Chains A and B, each alone.
Chain A
Amino acid sequence: MRECKIVSSRFHLKGSHTFRVAKENGVYKSLEKVKGYIPLEIIEIIKESGLRGKGGGGAFAGEKWALMPQNSTKPSFLVVNCDESEPGTFKDRQIISQDPHLLIEGILITCYAIKARHAYIYIRGEYKPFQDILQGAIDEAYQEGLLDTCDITIHRGAGAYICGEKSALLESLEGKRGHPRLKPKQKEPEWFFGNPTLVNNVETIATVPFILENGADAYKAFGTQKSAGTLLFAMSGHINRAGVYEAEFGTPMMEYINYFGGGIKNGKKLKAIIPGGASTPILTAEEVSKATLDYETMRSLGSALGTGGMIVMDEDTCMVEVLKNLLEFYHEESCGQCTPCREGTGWTDKLVGKILNKEGTKKDIDKLLEVATTMNGKTICVFAPAVSGVITAFLTKFRDEFEVKL
């Protein structure tokens, strides 16, 4: 297991969230180097590094940056997505509470590259304590004169999971209801009040200083060919040491779990893992043994790497209960815009509840799969398709557990 601390290098330091400690330990060092580049060169470096969006989608960050106009008559904006609400995912809050200055450094570089003079950090409403730490760091940065040419504003969300979806986030930031927007037919930036805008996850932005300081090759030295670099993977559930640990892409999943997590709790056997936040299809123990932590392998297993927040379940876990728990969340959080999602999340939740209460019939299982199919690929955003994938994976991989309950 190779040590790799790109984002988490200062997490262990006492007072790492303060300007003094962070500065002594190298924060804002890359800014000097950045001045030697023109914005387009920085975008090239990011492209070259193979940095992928760390919020779950895994899109190449450089390509997204390149969509931002360099000579726009309208102001450009950076929006940092800190609406971390995916069950099983709690990595961004480590960054904003343990090393907020790293994020500010990343924001400054990114804004320079996309010629933005104002960055918004859209933060999950429940993250108030972490928001206070981040705001403290921003205030310090203002005092140090770091934000003379670029403003940073924190916007607190009102508690909707869907606002982590970038277009819903922008709607919410504009003061409207957080509904995802219809997707454009061609590649273009996002739009905030009609102005070109880049939306990136906290961790993506926090990775930028390392790349600028050490070069694209230093970042590419970690990870696999297609999934370059590292990610703040996280573990929760039946694991001895739950938490956030940075590792490089391509790390075998079991190795990660045993090395950082200290194995399954109480010496039990592993049953299944939801690999990347609740919205990714579940993997059985057998699949986990073959899995490595990178986008391509996860996709080939029919799941997704997502945010890298693993939910570990031991042999005693009732899969019907797990699915009910997840569906309650989706039922609550569907924004209600598209019919298949609005009605589908509720119905599937009720059907699984029926099965859990031993009131179900075989017909209900078939109906569940049928509704899941209807929810897949017919909505504005990927919320419903994700739920569909979750339901289908549970029912195909653990169907016997559902049938026992009938």
Chain B
Amino acid sequence: MSEMIDIVVDNKTYKAKEGSLLIDLLIKEKIKVPYFCYHEALGADGNCRMCMVEIEGQKRPQISCDTFIKANMKVHSTGNNIEKVRRDILELELINHPVDCPVCDQAGECSLQDFYMDYGLHNSEVLIQEKIKHTKHIDLGANVILDQERCVLCARCTRFTEKITKTHELGIIGRGDEARVSTMPHRKLHNPYAMNVVDLCPVGALTSKDFRFSQRVWFLQTVNSICHGCAKGCNIFIDHNKIKYKDDLIYRFRPRRNDEVNGFFMCDEGRLSYKALQDNRQEVTLLNAKAITEEEALLEAKRLIEEYENNISVVIDANLYTQEIEAILEFSKKIGASAYAPLEVYYDENFKDDMLKSANRGANSQTIELLTIDTSTPKESGLVINFNHPDTFNSETVINFLTHKKALNSLIFPMAVFTENTGTLRNEEGIVQHCEQAIFKNTPIPTLIETVKKIQL
């Protein structure tokens, strides 16, 4: 079954695995095919009937999500016939759709809109009064809002709760054009991966309570990054935008497909972790809770390091980029300090599950271990330089590098979070992954590498 064979699509020959799904080939080769219900993570369901293609020798058009590739298959994905079929089915899809794109959050990333522009362009023939009315705003729980009227009944969300999370909260009730997605009465959508249904939904039926109405998607810029929520290292998209006269802000994280790491999904906690990155940030240099200039702070740091020579410990956060950890090690060698990275604090058994969540919540703790940095609590020393490690340490004096505000009486340097910087992480499986810089603040917060370089010793 797994032999590679030739298949002809639109008069071009492609290599494909015998017995594999035709739609997978079309998607892989970027041959335009409209579809709602098919999803590589969920498999074929065959209900939307949009992915029709013509296959020579078959008298009727066939859905490509239920067509298995055979040798010498000749497929036509374009042409008047097949485009008419797609257009006609799309017309049916739209007759009871509210067409409320101007107020719909999905606008701009909606399959229905895209396919309408590609194949539809019909005139509306059904009066608004004649359309089937459903409930427009149902809080399903878990930050997911359902608009039943916009739904195309592709059943991706129900299949997600059935096949992926196996929690079965969502189902389809009612028959014919009264069919709609719903939870059981008095039950809520409730699982740690629930918000993935928002990404799965090809239309605006399921929207994120967190994101909806905050931005039009075409204003967002997207960069590739890695979630720092745990050592799994789920691949993500960071969607951010810098509104005129305002600062660059992240509006959402979305999972980015990586079959070796996270597949198609990410957990809700990771998805919402962007908020904490921009709230309560440490932005200025402080000495004992009093703002001082950076120059003054650098001089004070220099003084302290010289004062405590050979009596200094450096503590490293396990969420820092590898490049940052290396810079700290170099710096600590230079000042004759011993480096520590206590990992116990990152271990959270309650967070763990058998899907994506790892009990190890230090996103780069693998690198700490690979570099054989001492993971025990630092020995009592005169000066501790803490690079954003969540614990506080006993010593006469402390220099803190902080991303977020903390009530500490010490010399404090602000430092950039991972989205304001670029670097790599090594996840728990040893896979090294790169994060791009997403955020360029109006007043950039220096990275710890920059600050460390500025301390003149």
Which residues of A are in contact with B by a Cβ distance under 8 Å? 160, 162, 177, 182, 185, 331-347, 350, 367, 370-371, 373-374, 377-380
Contact = CB atoms under 8 A, between A and B. Distances in A.
User: Interface majority SS on A: helix, strand, loop or mixed?
Assistant: helix
B174 A336 contact: yes
Contact of A345 (B50, B61, B85, B177): B177
B178 A336 contact: yes
B52 A378 contact: yes
A334 B175 contact: yes
Contacts of A339: 47-50, 89, 92-93, 152-153
Interface stretch (B124-132, B194-202, B405-413): B124-132
Contact of A343 (B46, B50, B95): B95
Chain B CB within 10 A, most for which of A341, A374, A377: A374
Contacts of A182: 44, 46, 66
Interface in B413-449: none
Given A182-B44, A342-B153, A347-B95, A336 B49 contact: no
Nearest to A377: B60
B88 interface: yes
A365 to B, nearest CB: 13
A339 B49 CA distance: 7
26 contacts: A160-B175, A182-B44, A182-B46, A331-B176, A332-B176, A333-B176, A334-B176, A335-B179, A336-B179, A337-B47, A338-B46, A338-B47, A339-B49, A339-B50, A340-B89, A340-B92, A342-B153, A342-B176, A343-B93, A343-B96, A346-B132, A347-B95, A347-B126, A371-B92, A374-B88, A378-B52
A338 B178 CA distance: 13
A344 B175 CA distance: 13
A324 B178 CA distance: 18
A47 B91 CA distance: 46
Contacts of B179: 335-336, 342
A259 B88 CA distance: 47
A336 B176 contact: yes
A163 to B, nearest CB: 11
Contacts of B14: none
B336 interface: no
A359 to B, nearest CB: 11
A331 B177 CA distance: 8
Contacts, number: 89
B68 interface: yes
A239 to B, nearest CB: 31
Contacts of B174: 336
B172 interface: yes
B176 A338 contact: no
B68 A185 contact: yes
B177 A343 contact: yes
Interface string B42-58: 00101111101000000
9 smallest beta-carbon distances between A and B, as pairs: A336-B179, A334-B176, A343-B92, A346-B177, A374-B88, A377-B60, A337-B47, A182-B46, A336-B176
Contacts of A338: 46-49
A115 to B, nearest CB: 29
Interface string B153-181: 10000000000000000011011111100
B61 A378 contact: yes
B202 to A, nearest CB: 13
Given A339-B47, A343-B93, A380-B47, 17 more contacts: A177-B172, A182-B44, A185-B68, A331-B177, A332-B175, A334-B177, A336-B172, A336-B176, A338-B46, A339-B89, A339-B152, A340-B49, A340-B92, A341-B176, A343-B177, A346-B177, A350-B130
A334 B92 CA distance: 14
Nearest to B158: A177
A279 to B, nearest CB: 15
Contacts of A185: 68
Chain A CB within 10 A, most for which of B49, B152, B174: B49
Nearest to B125: A367
A352 to B, nearest CB: 13
A342 B93 CA distance: 9
A378 B49 contact: yes
A380 B153 CA distance: 15
B342 to A, nearest CB: 51
A345 B92 contact: no
B71 to A, nearest CB: 15
Contact of A344 (B48, B61, B92, B171): B92
Contacts of A378: 49, 52, 60-61, 85, 89
B51 to A, nearest CB: 11
Contacts of B92: 339-340, 342-344, 347, 371, 374
A345 B176 CA distance: 8
Contacts of B152: 339
Contacts of A374: 85, 88-89, 91-92
A350 B132 CA distance: 11
Nearest to B87: A374
Contacts of B44: 182
Nearest to A335: B175
A341 B179 CA distance: 12
Chain A CB within 10 A, most for which of B44, B47, B52: B47
Chain B CB within 10 A, most for which of A334, A340, A342, A373: A342
A71 to B, nearest CB: 24
Nearest to B155: A337
Given A339-B48, A346-B96, A370 B153 contact: no
Contacts of A162: 175
Interface in B60-103: 60-61, 66, 68, 85, 88-89, 91-93, 95-96
A174 B88 CA distance: 34
A160 B178 CA distance: 14
A383 to B, nearest CB: 10
Contacts of A333: 175-176
B22 to A, nearest CB: 12
A346 B176 contact: yes
Interface string B108-145: 00000000000000000110001010000000000000
Nearest to B88: A374
A73 B47 CA distance: 33
Contacts of A337: 47, 153
A332 B126 CA distance: 19
Contacts of A341: 176
A31 B447 CA distance: 88
A309 to B, nearest CB: 23
Nearest to B50: A339
A336 B174 CA distance: 8
Nearest to B152: A339
Contacts of A335: 175-176, 179
A270 B60 CA distance: 37
A350 B177 CA distance: 12
B113 to A, nearest CB: 16
A283 B92 CA distance: 29
B38 to A, nearest CB: 12
